[in-house]
Amino acid sequence: MRKLLVTIGLLTLFVSAAFAGGDGEKGSGGALPDITLEGYSRETDERMGFDLQWKVDGQTLRVQMAALTTGWIAVGFDPTNMMANANFLIGYVSNGTPFMSDHFGDGTFKHTQDTKLGGKDNFSDVEGEEINGATLIRFSIPLDSGDAYDKPLEQGKTYRVIYAYGPDGKDDFATYHSKNRGGFEITL
């Protein structure tokens, strides 16, 4: 009888671990989604688990970002120092719905939502999904929104882009990224 109870207990543990998280908020161990957009440029940091694809389309920059987390993921265009003065686009997917926020680097290690600084949310065409432990988000931003809390971008020019992502399941715009951050240069 005791053996049977132990077996049932272990089975219950196994089943609840397998289904933990419900909406895909599972632990790491997945892979970056292998989705290559035609006509887009690409920069992938396999080691850090971050992928960025981008394309200038008229006066619009179309972006796909993906990172190895089920929490928030973000890019910051054209910082001057660390996180300062970058135009941040931060997003997460919760229960299959993408959420996005436009922030500005108002300090070396700080960012604040544009709308709280007197600017606007400048993004559109937001799509997103969680795939195999990773989060993928697509969005568009104007090359030059005219907002003091975005950065004007020009086709053909090279910019530093920083990225970061939060721990698994942290569907917010605030949890510290810890070591999950980096940067590279891209040419639009």
Contact of 186 with 51, CB cutoff 8 Å: no
Q: Is 177 in the site for ligand HEM (CB under 6 A)?
A: yes
Tell which one of 37, 48, 56, 82 touches ligand HEM (CB under 6 A): 82
Residue type, 142: P
Q: Is 160 in the site for ligand HEM (CB under 6 A)?
A: no
Q: Strand order of the sheet with strand 41-45?
A: 41-45, 50-57, 60-67, 134-142, 124-131
CA distance readout (Å), 77 to 15, 51, 61: 43, 15, 11
* 3-state SS string for 165-176: ECCCCCCCCCCC
The least CB distance from residue 30 to ligand HEM, in Å, is 20
Q: Is 74 in the site for ligand HEM (CB under 6 A)?
A: yes
Site string for ligand HEM, 111-130 (x = CB under 6 A): x-------------------
The stretches of 66-177 forming alpha helices (DSSP H) are: 114-117
Tell which one of 128, 162, 170, 171 touches ligand HEM (CB under 6 A): 162
Report which residue's Cβ sits closest to ligand HEM. 164
Tell which one of 83, 93, 134, 136 touches ligand HEM (CB under 6 A): 83
Q: Which two three-digit tokens encode residue 143?
A: 């090359």
Closest by Cα among 30, 179, 31, 173 to 90? 173
Tell which one of 29, 118, 174, 185 touches ligand HEM (CB under 6 A): 174
CA distance readout (Å), 146 to 121, 130, 150: 12, 32, 8
Q: Is 137 in the site for ligand HEM (CB under 6 A)?
A: no
Tell which one of 90, 93, 137, 141 touches ligand HEM (CB under 6 A): 90
The least CB distance from residue 13 to ligand HEM, in Å, is 33
Contact of 92 with 138, CB cutoff 8 Å: no
Q: Is 63 in the site for ligand HEM (CB under 6 A)?
A: no
| Binding footprint of ligand HEM on the chain (CB under 6 A) | 74-76, 82-83, 88, 90, 109, 111, 162-164, 174, 176-177, 181, 183
